[in-house]
Structure 1
Amino acid sequence: MKLGWNFVTGLEVYLSSWKKYEDPAPGEYTYNYDPSRYPQKFVKKGSAVEFRTRTWNGVGFNGVPILRKNPIFSYTVVFNEMELYFTYELVGSIVTRFISSQSGVGLRRMWDNQARSWKLYLSIPIDSCYVICGAFGSCNTGYSTICRCLDKFVPKYPKEWAKEDWSNYCTRNVQLDCHSGDGLQKYSGYKLPDTRSSSFNKNISLEECKTICLKNHNCTTYSSLDITN
């Protein structure tokens, strides 16, 4: 299967939910690749983004352990001037399908020949951490309090955060001073920010990217696009 774009013909291949379980007319939800900046996949209800997947890093989608190398299917992302698509191929004699449900959940199921039924293998979204903790907040469903502020930040309204109302964002505990040598904090294992407000360059090193970022006071983060090697 291919999910994505042919930039030469303008053809897009995407998933659309059914209107109802018994009605295959197009429903409210779509699952597609957005090529506007560095590509990322969206689950949308109409034009509103409900969920954003993690970005492709040449090996997998960062932070998604269930999509690492497995004995069931191989997968990759192709992205060049001609096309952009996610594709997978079955490794063994297994029957699988991936659909967008009526509620917008992406479901991969495997056919169980012995039970004569479809078994759930993977569902997307796989977490509840989408636009919940606000700017400069980090979300981890493994914690009892899932929202925390990043280092150097504190809740803007601590009383609301204490009541688990995370609608208000985090703010700096000390004012940023770029000229004094303030730099960037290193974070590992995080989902990268929404790439629609980013830029990218495949032809520079990570160190060159860091230099460019530090010269631009509007730059908030930088990362490798491809960690294959």
Structure 2
Amino acid sequence: MSLPLFDTEPQPAQPLAEGAVLLRGWAARQDAAWIATVRQVLAQQPLQAAFTAGGRPMSVRTSNCGEWGWAAAGLRGYGYTRSDPLSGRPWPAMPTFLQQQAQALAAQAGYPGFDPDVCLINAYAVGARMGLHHDADERDKAAPIVSVSLGLPCHFVWGGLQRSDPVRSLRLEHGDVLVWGGASRMVFHGVRPLPAGQHHLLGAERWNLTFRMAQRPYRG
């Protein structure tokens, strides 16, 4: 039996910038299903250390599911691959629940036809961060990014189209969903060091799921 996409009336979408929409708490309404499904993925593809393209260690740990995955293994593999470069095994298939939720969230943000072939899972322990960057390796930049926050709140950094542009900090809570595309698709963004805390489902940790269309053309 499939779960409904949304089990209560969600909050209205909040425009963040041109092409960018914040859906406050939309994933919290089925957070048990989100977390259980991610744990099923992690049982097949455990979290592993991540490295920059230059080989420097990152403070997040990563996993993937879908036809493609983001390999952050430094000089051994960096970018989208069909298999884990460390084990040689294909990435686990994306669970139907995650696929359907990502499609519905993108449509709600004004991006119908979104069909992700990647779900990147970033796990943040207290103090972990993500430097300012933009997502530039996807084949079709018309496709948006769908980002789901679970667990501890974070301070998300939203910049401009140049790394040197001014930034603002946005607090993302458990269950918040940020979708960006269009004029905001190549905006630089990041995450400040995760503050200490305890979440009732994930403890002292934050999960960030980003759904992307790495190789598929977008027909929205």
Instruction: Please confirm whether the aligned pair reaches a TM-score higher than 0.5, indicating the same fold.
Output: no
Higher relative contact order (CA 8 A, sep 6+): 2
- Which one has the largest radius of gyration? 1
User: Which bin holds the TM-score, normalised by the shorter protein?
Assistant: under 0.3
More helix by share: 2
